Amino acid sequence: MSREGLTGPVRRFLAALGFLSRLAPARVLPEADMRRCMFHLPLCGLVIGTAACAPALLGLFAGRPLVQAWTILALSAWVTRGLHLDGFSDVADAAASHVERERFWTILKDSRCGAFGAAALVLAILGQAALFSEILRQRPAWTLIWVFAAGRAAAVIIGLAGRPLIRPGLGGLFLSGATLRAALWALGLTLLPALYLWPEAAIFALVAAALLLLPLVRLAWTVGGLNGDFLGAAIVLGETAAAAGLVLAQNP
């Protein structure tokens, strides 16, 4: 195998990790390599999830699942620079304010956070905190690492579903790599281990993902575009769906 074959995937993985988090330096890659970074999103989710869950994995605040859940969310937001939360808030703000195409994209690009965006952000964070704490009551902390991988896999699926709508820009360049091969890899990497470890939870998570992500896909087609903010929204919704599946499969 050539040197390029050995180092190329690693270089693209680190570029994707640097794009999504603080865990790797930002890198400038040729457009062809940027498109192939989408393939590495679920693996990036595993790394980001491990970093966010590290205190809980080490036993910090053991027996206090709500505190552990807050710590995980706070670290996740810091590690990812809040990019996915920002995208989710922007999409919610624009969608709730107006779905007429031109007006939607004007609001989406506005750096200010409106009432709808703030409300959606608070509900998402509180919802994930509640779900994470319930998971930690009955399952080991490493279970939540899968939630972060599933969220990034959801972004790949959204990219594939709305690929004809991708708008110009860095996020659009990244999303253009959401090929069928990348989507199948994302599903295989996240769904197959879940079906083996927690089959009931995996089924519940799939149903929850469909309920949360299909409206996002429909919105993209309604407003005629898909960009990096949709990528962030898909990550938040994918994480929430995965966590909901784990909770629904637990004993009361």
Give the structural domain span for 58: 39-248
Q: What type of residue is 195? A: L
**CB atoms closer than 10 angstroms to residue 184:** 12
Band of residue 11 on the pLDDT scale cut at 50, 70, 90: confident
Domain-located, residue 2: no
Band of residue 2 on the pLDDT scale cut at 50, 70, 90: very low
What residues are paired with 166 via a beta bridge? Answer: 226
- HEC letters along 214-252: HHHHHHHHHHCCECHHHHHHHHHHHHHHHHHHHHHCCCC
List, in order, residues 6 or more apart from 33 with CB less than 8 Å away.
8, 11, 12, 15
Give tens-digit pLDDT for 160-208.
999 889 887 777 777 888 899 999 999 999 999 999 999 999 999 999 9
Locate 170 and state its tokens: 């860095």
Buried b (16+ CB within 10 A) or exposed e, 55-65: bbbeeeeeeeb
Q: What separation in angstroms does the CA of 170 have from each of 31, 114, 224, 227?
A: 10, 24, 18, 9
pLDDT of residue 113: 84
Question: Can you say whether residue 236 is alpha, beta or left, with left for phi > 0 and alpha for psi between -120 and 50 degrees?
Answer: alpha
Give tens-digit pLDDT for 79-108.
999 999 999 999 999 998 766 888 899 898
Say how far residue 54 (Cα) sits from the centre of its chain: 19
DSSP-assigned letter for residue 162: T
Domain-located, residue 29: no
Domain-located, residue 92: yes
Percent of the chain with pLDDT over 70: 96
Domain-located, residue 227: yes
How many structural domains compose the chain? 1
DSSP-assigned letter for residue 167: P
Percent of the chain with pLDDT over 90: 70
DSSP state string for 59-77? TTTTT-HHHHHHHHHHHHH
pLDDT of residue 139: 96
Band of residue 7 on the pLDDT scale cut at 50, 70, 90: low
Give tens-digit pLDDT for 216-243.
999 999 999 999 899 999 999 999 999 9
Domain-located, residue 17: no
Domain-located, residue 26: no
pLDDT of residue 134: 97
Buried b (16+ CB within 10 A) or exposed e, 154-167: bbbbbbbbbbebbb
pLDDT of residue 175: 80
Higher pLDDT, 135 or 32: 135
Domain-located, residue 145: yes
DSSP-assigned letter for residue 88: H
Domain-located, residue 119: yes
The answer on pLDDT for 133 being more than 70 is yes
The answer on pLDDT for 5 being more than 60 is no
Nearest to 154 by CA among 25, 244, 94: 244
Q: What is the mean pLDDT of the chain?
A: 90
Q: What is the distance between the alpha carbons of residues 102 and 28, in angstroms, rounded to a whole number?
A: 31
